Chains A and B, each alone.
Chain A
Amino acid sequence: MLQPRQTRSIRMFLIYLVIILAVLLSIFPILYLLITSFKPADLTFAVPPVWIFHPTLQNYFDVFAGGTFNKYFMNSVIVALSTTAIALTLGSFAGYGFARFQFRGKTWMMLSSLIPQMLPPITIIVPLYVLFNSMKLIDTQLALIISYLTFSIPLSIWMMTGFFADVPPELEESAMIDGCTRMGAFFRVNLPIAAPGLAATAILSFIYCWNEFLYAVILTGRDARTLPVTITSFMTNKAILWGRIAASGSLILVPVLIFALLAQRYLVRGLSRGAVKG
Chain B
Amino acid sequence: MSVANTPVEQTTSTAVARHRARKHFFRRIEPALYISPAFLVLAAILIYPLGYSFWLSFHQWLLRSFRQGVPFIGIKNYLDLFTNPDFLNSLRITFTFVFFAVGIEFVLGMGLALLLNHDLHGKGMIRSLILLPMMCTNVVIGLTFRLLLNYQYGIVNYYLGAVGLHSIEWLSKPGVALPAVILVDVWNTTSFVALLLLAGLQSMPEEPFEAARIDGASAMQTFYYLTLPLLRPTILVALLWRLIDTFRIFDVIYLLTAGGPARATETVSIYVYRYGFQSFNLGFASAASFIMIAIMIGIAAVLARSIGRQEQ
A residues within 8 Å of B by Cβ? 12, 15-16, 18-19, 22-23, 25-27, 29-30, 32-33, 36, 45, 47-49, 86, 90-91, 93-94, 96-98, 100-101, 103, 107-109, 111, 113-128, 130-131, 146-147, 149-150, 153-154, 156-157, 182, 207, 210-211, 213-214, 218, 227-228, 231-232, 242, 245-246, 249, 252-253, 256-257, 259-261, 264-265, 267-269, 271-272, 274-276
B255 and A232 contact, CB distance less than 8 A: yes
B136 and A256 contact, CB distance less than 8 A: yes
Give Cα A18 to B116, complex, Å. Answer: 10
Counting CB contacts under 8 A, is B118 at the interface? yes
A33 and B140 contact, CB distance less than 8 A: yes
Q: A120-B250, A120-B296, A122-B250 are in contact. Are A276 and B276 (CB under 8 A)?
A: no
A126 and B130 contact, CB distance less than 8 A: no
Give Cα A150 to B140, complex, Å. Answer: 23
**Given the complex, which residues of A lie within 8 Å of B292, measured CB to CB?**
120, 122-123
Give Cα A98 to B35, complex, Å. Answer: 7
Of the 9-residue stretches B13-21, B71-79, B121-129, B170-178, which lies at the interface with chain A? B121-129
25 A/B residue pairs, CB under 8 Å, sorted by A:
A15-B118, A15-B120, A19-B116, A26-B129, A29-B141, A29-B187, A90-B38, A90-B41, A93-B38, A94-B38, A101-B34, A114-B244, A120-B250, A120-B296, A122-B272, A153-B42, A157-B38, A211-B136, A227-B137, A232-B255, A252-B137, A257-B136, A268-B196, A275-B307, A276-B237
* Total interface residues in chain B, CB < 8 Å: 94
Counting CB contacts under 8 A, is B265 at the interface? no
**Given the complex, which residues of A lie within 8 Å of B268, measured CB to CB?**
120
B52 and A265 contact, CB distance less than 8 A: no
A231 and B118 contact, CB distance less than 8 A: no
Q: A128-B49, A130-B52, A272-B200 are in contact. Are A213 and B293 (CB under 8 A)?
A: no
Give Cα A90 to B196, complex, Å. Answer: 25
**Given the complex, which residues of B lie within 8 Å of A86, measured CB to CB?**
41
Q: Mark B281-304, 1 if CB is under 8 A from A, else 0.
A: 010011001101100110010001
A149 and B56 contact, CB distance less than 8 A: no
**Given the complex, which residues of A lie within 8 Å of B126, measured CB to CB?**
19, 23
